[in-house]
Structure 1
Amino acid sequence: MDFAYVVAIIIAVVGFSLVVASDRTRRNTRESARLAAIERKLDTIMTHLGIEEPAATQDSEVLAHLMQGQKIQAIKVYRERTGTGLAEAKDAVERMARERGLS
């Protein structure tokens, strides 16, 4: 085979791979946005109906960090475990600390 022919095939394969990866990324972004919109709507409905979210995970690692005075680390662990945003995690960890008199 001619060297130029091999290079053309490699470029075509790489280009096709980039197109497929781009489509997958676009689809994931679209799904993430849709899921976020659904979560906001559900939160609005729960607030309107006066339904409170079930108690946050009482993770022993989060509590251990709180007892050691490591609030930032407790928030990081809480976020990793629950997937919540920074403000929500901070509120939840502070609530856990207040409930246990660790403020």
Structure 2
Amino acid sequence: MNTVFLLVALVATAGWITSTVTLRVQSLQHKADRMERRLALVLDHFGIEEPEPAGMDEVRAHLRADRHISAIKEYRRITGAGLAEAKLAVDALAAAEKV
């Protein structure tokens, strides 16, 4: 009986810790998103453009050769971006190159 009680207490504690950490991470993500939006407004206000990372010519070369996945991999290597972010950036770059 004591073992069952301890197991239930352990599971409840683990659930509480998980939910607390999840809420804290979500709060920090929300704050980071707000800071990024504010920084973007400041950069726009002063007319400052973020410089393009070095090595983007290689990404463009992959796109011109129709190697989209290789372009995403190269973008990730250059910038350290995650997969979703890299895919969006490379898709935007490909669309801009076609215009």
Scaled by the length of structure 2, the TM-score of the pair is: 0.71
Report deviation, 1:58: 1.9
Taking only the aligned residue pairs, the percentage that are identical comes to 29
RMSD between aligned residues: 3.0
- Between Structure 1 and Structure 2, the one with more helix by share is 2
Secondary structure, counterpart of 2:50 in structure 1: coil
Consecutive unaligned residues in structure 2, runs of 5 or more:
none
- Pick from 52, 57, 65 the counterpart of residue 55 of structure 1: 52
With over 3 angstroms needed to count, the CA separation of the structure-2 counterparts of 1:61 and 1:21, relative to structure 1, is farther
Q: 1:46-98: per-residue Cα shift (whole Å, max 9, x none)? A: 01100010113426873563243123x2246536832437544433x338x84
Q: Distance in 1 between matches of 2:26 and 2:57?
A: 33
- Greater Rg by CA: 1
Partner residue of 1:24? 21
Secondary structure, counterpart of 1:14 in structure 2: helix
Report deviation, 1:35: 0.1
Secondary structure, counterpart of 2:9 in structure 1: helix
Scaled by the length of structure 1, the TM-score of the pair is: 0.68
Consecutive unaligned residues in structure 1, runs of 5 or more:
none
Residue 65 of structure 2 corresponds to residue 68 of structure 1: yes
